[in-house]
Amino acid sequence: MHELGITQNIIAIVRENAQGKKVQRVLLEIGQLSAIMPEAIKFCFDICAKDTIVEGAVLEILEIPGMAKCRQCDTTFSVDQPFGICECGSVQLDIITGEELKIKEIEVEDLCV
């Protein structure tokens, strides 16, 4: 399960960017063509966050659908796998979306003294 290593890296990046502040929420974008299972990331998140400033943070995952553009006819269409065929018959496609793995937002605790 490569999602464990990916989640460990996500936690490390979040910790670094939180600059010591307690993390409340993390929003990830995961493309449906990325070969990353959102449920596995959710499962690993709490385990990897334990005893860190990320522990207890809410994890939200926004799944990004796959979109491709045909090089032959410029048609843009949805795809559910990293390859396909356009209605014009071309297999020359550029994947536009669906391969993402992004930390889109990190919400940290802002303490007022």
Which residues carry a binding-site annotation for Zn(2+)? Answer: 70, 73, 86, 88
CA R_g for the chain: 18
3-state secondary structure 43-69: HHHHHHHCCCCCCCCEEEEEEECEEEE
Q: Residue positions in the annotated binding site for Ni(2+)?
A: 2
Residues flagged as binding site: 2, 70, 73, 86, 88
- Largest Cα–Cα distance of the chain, in whole Å? 64
Please name the residues in contact with 4: beta carbons below 8 A apart, sequence gap of 6 or more. Answer: 40, 44, 48
What sections of the chain are H helices per DSSP? 3-18, 38-49
